[in-house]
Structure 1
Amino acid sequence: MTARSVITESKPPLPLSWISIGFFAAFHILAVLAVGCFSWSALGVALFLHWLFGSIGICLGYHRLLSHRSFQVPKLLEYAIAIIGALAIQGGPIFWVAGHRLHHAHTEDEEKDPYSSRRGFWWSHIVWLFYPRPEFFDYKQYSKFAPDLARDPFYRWLNRYHLFLQIPLAAILYLCGGLPFVIYGIFLRSVILWHSTWLINSATHLYGYRNFPDIKDDSRNLWWAAILTYGEGWHNNHHAYPKVAKAGLRWWEIDVTWWAIKTLQLLGLAKKVSMPPTR
């Protein structure tokens, strides 16, 4: 038996998930229907929900609050923000947080980072979702990396049933604006928000500048990704100070999500807000 065959046997090909492919393909196809039912109000709904679910739900909630605990809010508000994050259809909170913590613990490692950029742009952008490795997608395995959330019955429930939240959302959208609101508010919004968020996994590890060149990974600050993700595109800053609530550190590095955190702080709702060290 050759060394090459031993390596091949020890690393069998990853199974392709046709369920995942079908799910994402269906959303992309349905999003195209937006062309035929355009209205300014429907577009406004899509843009508003992109901000609400993206900036407040994912960036502020799943990322800076739950993954890194860069600030604290009252528990009921934390739960409400987590529900907003779950409405983004990017996985349950335990799944998302565990994957992101693994990304920081093993940045760009081809085996331990779920969406390692060293596997190529498209792998880190979307293809990793089509090859669900058990250590990243099996609850019993990935929940070990988010034990604080896995101990909470509410987060276990939300992690399991988050997709069902789209049913009341679709009903509300339909009652408010008919089928165009559903197409724009769920399908078009989801597709645009997915690709916006995924750019942080893919593009910001390939393009942009580095305020902190000594960081031992390829994270970069990419201005247009920061615009699309409400501040998450200042990724090199974030990898330098992952537990800091503010991603934009220079005056021109606009961080819309930080504005929301600062507003919560001014209202007395955000406590123990972690700030970058004085340089």
Structure 2
Amino acid sequence: MKNWQQGYRGIGIALLHALVLVALWRGTDTADWLAFAVVYPLAAIGVGVAMHRYFAHRAFRTSRVFQFALALMAALSFGNAVHFAGKHRLHHRHSDAEGDVHAPHQGWWQCWFGSLIDCGYSEPKIRREAAHWFDFPELSFLYRHGSLPALTVCVVLFLIGGFNMMVIGGCLPGVLLLHQSSAVNYFCHCRGQRAFATRDQSTNNLLVALLTYGEGWHNNHHRFPRSARAGLYWWQPDLFYGVICLFETLGLVWEVQRIDDQRLRRADLALHS
């Protein structure tokens, strides 16, 4: 069963990349990129705000309805919010140690692609880490059928605009977000600066932060994992935190976790040691 699942994931990743290359080779039009402009921002929020800061780290609270909306956004990139939450918590527990399945010291391929094909953790272990999310039947459904929302979007886009719209609007967002997330996993554990003393090798990387809307302030994140804000200072851009603030203003989320100046001063700043 496990080997079948790994093969399915590997084929899926390869197929998404192949489809994108074929669509670009065939040529695209404005309608294709309009579809991308609609889907990609929602899928990006689904990865950074939903899967990472909410489902994995509970950086804010929200209603059950908007919680499900966040999980659907995560699924637009073929992501699985509950599965990611369990896997990511295990990553933090074993960061850059033996139990971390996507540490850079295991090699570029494993860090970038291999851990997506085989995360190294058993399903029971992942489910235990994310057990409270299974109290919601709708999240349990998405856990079992994680690809269904993205596939549904692909079918709708195909019916509206054909093959190229399906691929550019439905598949390309997932491909780009895969590489953006893998860039954080790799470069933010081996390239960059360490502002805080943590037990792992996490780093802050300005270029990765700009490319991933704030996720590249990874050393900050590992020092304060529950913080809704990864870019802790005014000069560290964090678009995902801005999205959370917008949601807060609209009343969609509340109890947003923030690190105040006093906590920052008390932190063990490696730069000032």
Q: TM-score, normalised by structure 1?
A: 0.86
The equivalent of 1:248 in structure 2 is 231
The aligned residue for residue 73 of structure 2 is 84
Could you tell which deviates more after superposition, 65-74 or 17-26?
Answer: 17-26
**What are the within-5 Å matches in structure 2 for residues 149-188 of structure 1?**
149-188=133-172
Q: Which residue of 1 aligns with 2:205?
A: 222
Q: Report SS of the residue matched to 2:153.
A: helix
Q: Work out the CA distance in 2 between the residues paired with 1:235 and 1:167.
A: 31
- Aligned positions of 1:27-42 closer than 5 A: 27-35=16-24, 36-42=26-32
How far 1:45 moved relative to its partner?
2.8
**Cα distance in 2 between the residues matched to 1:105 and 1:78:** 25
Unaligned runs of 5+ in 2: 266-273
What is the deviation of 1:51? 2.1
- In structure 1, what is the Cα distance between the partners aligned to 2:143 and 2:217? 28
Q: Does 2:92 match 1:104?
A: yes
- Deviation per CA, 1:25-59, whole angstroms, max 9, x where unpaired? 111111101222222332343244222111x2111
Render the CA deviation track for 1:166-193: whole Å, top value 9, x for unaligned: 3320132124332221010122222111
Equivalent position to 2:57, from 60, 64, 68: 68
CA distance in 2 between counterparts of 1:131 and 1:15 reads 9
Give the partner amino acid of 1:31: V
Cα separation, partners in 2 of 1:76 and 1:189, compared to 1, 3 Å: same
Cα contact 2:209–2:215 (8 A) shared by 1? yes
1:151 counterpart letter in structure 2:
D
Q: In the comparison of the two structures, how many residue pairs are matched?
A: 259
Greater mean deviation of Cα atoms: 123-132 or 61-70:
123-132
Unaligned runs of 5+ in 1: 1-13
Q: Please, what is the CA RMSD of the aligned residues?
A: 2.0
Residue deviations 1:133-189, cap 9 Å, x none? 3xx2x4323101111112322211110012122332013212433222101012222
1:51 paired residue number: 41
Aligned partner of 1:144 among 109, 128, 132: 128
What displacement does 1:132 show? 4.9
Matching residue of 1:5: none
CA contact 1:220–1:235 (8 Å) conserved in 2: yes
Q: In the alignment, does 2:22 pair up with 1:22? A: no
Q: What's the counterpart of residue 267 of structure 1?
A: 250
**Taking structure 1 as reference, are residues 271 and 131 closer, same or farther at Cα in structure 2, changes over 3 Å only?**
closer
What's 1:198 paired with? 182
Q: Secondary structure at the match of 1:205?
A: coil
Q: Aligned to 1:125, which of 95, 105, 112? A: 112
Of all paired residues, the percent bearing the same amino acid is 29
8 A contact 1:31–1:183 mirrored in 2: yes
* 1:245 Cα deviation after fit: 0.3
Closer, same or farther: CA 181–271 of 1 in aligned 2, 3 Å = same
Contact 1:87 1:162 in 2 (8 A): no
Helix, strand or coil at the partner of 2:253:
coil
| Equivalent in the alignment of 2:271 | none
Could you list the structure 1 runs, at least 4 aligned residues long, displaced by more than 4 angstroms after superposition.
Answer: none
Query: Aligned partners of 1:152 and 1:114: how far apart in 2?
Result: 28
Question: For residues 181-227 of structure 1, what are the alpha-carbon distances to aligned partners after superposition, in whole Å with 9 as ceiling and x for unaligned?
Answer: 10101222221111111111111111111221x11211111122112
Q: Give me the whole-angstrom Cα distance separating, in 1, the residues matched to 2:73 and 2:171.
A: 16
User: Contact (CA 8 Å) 1:220, 1:234: kept in 2 or not?
Assistant: yes
Contact 1:109/1:118 (CA < 8 Å) preserved in 2? no
Contact 2:103–2:189 (Cα < 8 Å) also in 1: no
Amino acid at match of 2:33: L
Residue 61 (structure 1) shift: 0.6
